[in-house]
Amino acid sequence: MPDASARIESEVRRLLDSIGDPCAVAQGVPMGIGEMGLLDRVHAGPEGEVEIDLRLTSPACMMVGYFKVEAERLALTVDGVRTVTVTSDTGLDWRPHMMGAAARQRRRLALLRRGGPDLGARGRADAAV
């Protein structure tokens, strides 16, 4: 049986992936922030304190406030969570290869359907599929 911290981290990650990334939705490839690679870290401490570190796709991301509010709201619904702290980076580190494999494939196929370049499995034009 997993310890309480591992259970909380797993459940929080699952719930956070229900937060849709609006840019992905706008591009016709809906995916949650976990699948998009925007969850850098989820840590649950022994007293039910949860820390969530978000990774942004751009310094100009206007959704960071929404992501933070929703992440805190959802994490607080998990049994055993007492406090939640959500932070975000500067939006300079995210790369397409940080997305989940299934998400990268859906994105690749959507781009190809629209006549875009084949970005390969790693999300780069020079990458092999």
> According to the model, what pLDDT value does residue 44 have?
98
CATH class of 4-94: alpha beta
> According to the model, what pLDDT value does residue 121 have?
53
In the chain, which residue ranges form alpha helices assigned H by DSSP? 4-16, 22-26, 64-75, 101-113
> According to the model, what pLDDT value does residue 25 have?
85
- The series of mean pLDDT values per 10 residues for the chain, 129 residues long, is 87 97 86 94 97 95 95 98 97 91 88 75 48
Q: How many angstroms separate the first and last alpha carbons of the chain?
A: 39
CB-based contacts of 96, cutoff 8 Å, min separation 6:
104, 107, 119, 122, 123, 124
> According to the model, what pLDDT value does residue 114 have?
80
pTM over 0.85: no
Hey, which residues does 87 pair with through a beta bridge?
Answer: 53
CB-based contacts of 114, cutoff 8 Å, min separation 6:
none
